[in-house]
Amino acid sequence: MGGAKNCPETPRQRMIGMMYLVLTAMLALNVSTDILKAFELVDKSLHTTMETTEARNKSILHDFRLDSIDNPEKNGPWYVKTLELMSQSDSLYNYIQDFKYNIACKTDGQSTVDKQIKADSAIVTNSKDIRSLKGSDNRDVATHYALPDGDNKPGLVLRSKIEAYREYLISLDTTRRAEFSMMFTTDTVTEKDGDRTPWEEQMFHDMPSGASLVLLTKLQNDIRNAENIMIQHLRRQTDAGDLRVNKLSAYVIPSSRNVVRGGKYSAQIILAAIDSTQTPEYYVNGERINDQGIYEVAASSEGTKKYNGWISYLNPATNQMEKLPFESEYSVMAPSVTISNTEMNVMYRGYDNKFSISVPGVTPDKIRVSVNGASTRQQGGLWLIKPGDAKSVTIAVSAEIDGKMQSMGSQTYDVRPLPKPRGSLKVGDNEYNGEKSIPRSALMNANAVVHASYGQDQTLNLKFTVNSFRANINGIMTSSNGNKFSKDQMDRIGKLKPGMAVILTDIRVKGPDGKEIPLAPVSLILN
């Protein structure tokens, strides 16, 4: 279905718009009330335009309804939105109609108005559609009806309804925000002297009844025009997601180009933009395959496998069978697995050894890892393997291929206890372990702590906790719990002179395996 064409403003509509602007300007200049008769001409023209627009809207809606019946899945949701649009439009339109009827009744009297409507029955389709007033020059009724004393002002209610309708239209098509904001403006006007005039006062304060009716009819006309714009917009949306193609191509879509020996290669062969009313014929290596275009062959040997074929289809333009060729390839490999220890070539007992484990062509969520004599868990894309008391562990890897778990290989590692770290005194980023003298000021630093590490030349970087140590300070042995010097120790260190030594002994630390071990003494010479 093609989208409905835009309906540009006709010369008649442009003429009416200009007449409306000119007559409004003349009214603002307080022209003689005789000019108000001209407003009846504008009002009748506006009604004529509205009736034409309403007829056009109903015609589009009728076609839209038929389209929604023919294709409810595609067109139905947009047809429902169109019905909601027309309901919203009718609600505001009818409220304005009641507004006009009430002003007319208060101007000429209800019986007079009803008689006039009856007299105009040949052109009036609404029981409250008033087309002329005897007291059209009355400047009190519109003001008193729309802007009475108190909080209940119909003019304010009308403004809020117009604003709600405007925002509803914008929500349907945000690209027309500027257009609808101008069409249904309710802005307050600031005069040259600084006075601010709200929209409802501009519309109704000291406004002749006849002019008020024309202004309200203009609003109704804008509603029908906006409705027409949006009906066409909503109908075009039914085609917005349709693809336009001008070329046919053959494609091969394999589930994977890498196949493990013993598995199965699978590929989808499709014809792009194919007509769903006809079934193409698929040929691979000269033989016809199934009508779904699914090519399957057993992967019995390793290597690169190539194949070609064609798709035979009926060209509707020529009513002749035509061929579209294709070719593709896939690889068959032996079962394999990549297992790498990211930190070392051995595995340590009681420590989360970090492993990167992958299977070519298989996503991580389809890989399973089992290890004898060790616990395993995943973290940040790595496998953490912590051996127990076993002297060796074997990592076995399997993967899900074509819905079945298949063994991919294994690897055995020797298990060793964690090596002992060495002790040192850490001051900021510096470590002192007897290889060089230490400034007295550094030793006195409050941030100095007894530390344990492997040093920069080691592959491990583990965290050890210092539980306790002893310090021989100028021949006096003292003890400390934790990794910091005690106050007594700091007082004694403060009395030392250059060349004297502080010897740390009985350093006991706990590693990530939870075991406490002693470290070698550390001699610190002051400079």
DSSP 295-350: EEEE--S-EEEEEEEEEEEEETTTTEEEEEEEEEEEEEE----EEEESS-SSEETT
**Residue, of 85 and 3, whose pLDDT is higher:** 85
| pLDDT class of 3 with cuts at 50, 70, 90 | very low
The Cβ-side half-sphere exposure at 357, using a 13 Å CA radius, reads 28
- Burial environment of residue 39 by CB neighbours within 10 A (0 to 12, 13 to 18, 19 or more): buried
Share of the chain above pLDDT 90, in %: 30
Q: Report the pLDDT averaged over residues 387-392.
A: 88
- For residue 99, pLDDT beyond 90: yes
CA 60 to chain centre: 34
Indicate if 400 and 459 belong to the same structural domain: no
Q: Residue 448: what pLDDT?
A: 65
Same domain? 150 vs 266: no
DSSP code at position 316? T
Query: What average pLDDT score do residues 90-99 get?
Result: 95
Tell me: do 128 and 273 sit in the same domain: no
The answer, yes or no, to whether residue 65 has pLDDT greater than 60, is yes
Question: Are 257 and 153 in the same domain?
Answer: no
Whether residue 3 is contained in a domain is answered as no
The pLDDT of residue 167 = 96
In a domain, 405, yes or no: yes
Contact yes or no for 306/252 (Cβ under 8 A):
no
Which of the pair, 442 or 175, is modelled with greater confidence? 175
Residues in Cβ contact with 291 at an 8 Å cutoff, skipping those fewer than 6 apart: 279, 281, 282
Q: In sequence order, what are the beta bridge partners of 395?
A: 371, 411
For 326-352, what is each residue's pLDDT tens digit?
Answer: 998 877 777 767 776 666 668 888 888
pLDDT on residue 339? 73
Q: Which of helix, strand or coil describes residue 430?
A: strand
**pLDDT tier for residue 165 given thresholds of 50, 70 and 90:** very high
Order of strands across the sheet that contains 422-427: 430-432, 422-427, 449-453
- Residue that wins the pLDDT comparison between 192 and 324: 324
For 398-404, what is the mean pLDDT?
Answer: 81
Q: Cβ atoms within 10 A of the Cβ of 381, count?
A: 9
Q: Where are the alpha helices (DSSP H) in 238-273?
A: none
- Supply the pLDDT for residue 459: 61
- pLDDT greater than 70 at residue 371: yes
Q: Is residue 463 part of a domain?
A: yes
Average pLDDT over residues 273-299: 82
Domain that holds residue 459: 422-525
* Percent of the chain surpassing pLDDT 70: 82
Residues 273 and 181 in one domain: no
In the block, residue with structure tokens 């064609």: 310
pLDDT, greater one: 377 or 33: 377
Q: Are 506 and 417 in contact (CB under 8 A)?
A: no
Looking at the fold, whether 329 and 458 belong to one and the same domain comes out as no
Contact 51, 44 (CB under 8 A): no
Whether 187 and 131 map to the same domain: the answer is yes
Segment among 29-33, 214-218, 410-414 with least mean pLDDT: 29-33
Band of pLDDT at residue 298, cut at 50, 70 and 90: confident
Any domain includes 291: yes
C-beta neighbour count of 521 within 10 angstroms: 15
Are residues 44 and 119 located together in one domain of the fold? yes
Going by the DSSP 8-state scheme, the letter that residue 366 receives in this structure is G
Examine the domain organization and report whether 267 and 326 are in the same domain.
yes
The answer to whether position 59 is within a domain reads yes
Spatial neighbors of 163 by CB under 8 A, at least 6 apart, are 184, 186
Last residue of a domain, one of 416, 442, 473: 416
Within this chain, do residues 86 and 189 fall inside the same structural domain, yes or no? yes
**What single letter denotes the amino acid at residue 306?**
K
Q: Which of 470, 440, 368 is nearest to 410 (CA)?
A: 368
Q: What is the CATH number of the domain that holds 297?
A: 2.60.40.10
pLDDT at 369: 92
Per-residue pLDDT, 246: 54
Cα 280 from chain centre = 38
168, 202, 237 — which closes off a domain?
A: 237
pLDDT in tens, 111-149: 998 888 888 776 766 778 887 888 888 989 999 999 998
Q: What SS3 class is residue 227?
A: helix
Same domain, 396 and 474: no
Cα distance between residue 114 and residue 122, in whole Å: 14
User: Residue 356 in 3-state DSSP?
Assistant: strand
CA–CA distance, 526 with 472 (Å, rounded to integer) = 14
Q: Are 36 and 167 within one domain?
A: yes
> For the chain, how many structural domains are there in total?
4
The pLDDT-based confidence of 239 (bands split at 50, 70, 90) is confident
Which among 382, 371, 378 has a CA at the least distance from the CA of 343? 382
The answer to the question of residue 192 being in a domain is yes
Among 168-177, 235-244, 471-480, 516-525, top mean pLDDT goes to 168-177
Output the average pLDDT for the chain.
82
Query: 252 — alpha (psi -120 to 50), left (phi > 0) or beta?
Result: beta
Of 187, 209, 237, the residue that ends a domain is 237
pLDDT higher than 70, residue 6: no
pLDDT reading at 178 higher than 90: yes
Reported as type and span, the H/E element at residue 452 is: strand 449-453
Confidence of residue 4 (pLDDT cuts 50, 70, 90): very low
- Specify the range with the lowest mean pLDDT, choosing from 69-73, 101-105, 153-157, 419-423: 419-423
**281 lies in a domain?**
yes
**How many angstroms separate the Cα of 228 from the Cα of each of 5, 441, 464?**
11, 87, 77
Highest mean pLDDT of the ranges 160-174, 262-276, 305-319, 365-379: 160-174
By the 10 Å C-beta count (0-12 exposed, 13-18 middle, 19+ buried), 36 is classed as buried
- What three-state secondary structure class fits 355? strand
Question: Is 244 within a domain?
Answer: no
Nearest to 270 by CA among 330, 331, 326, 329: 326
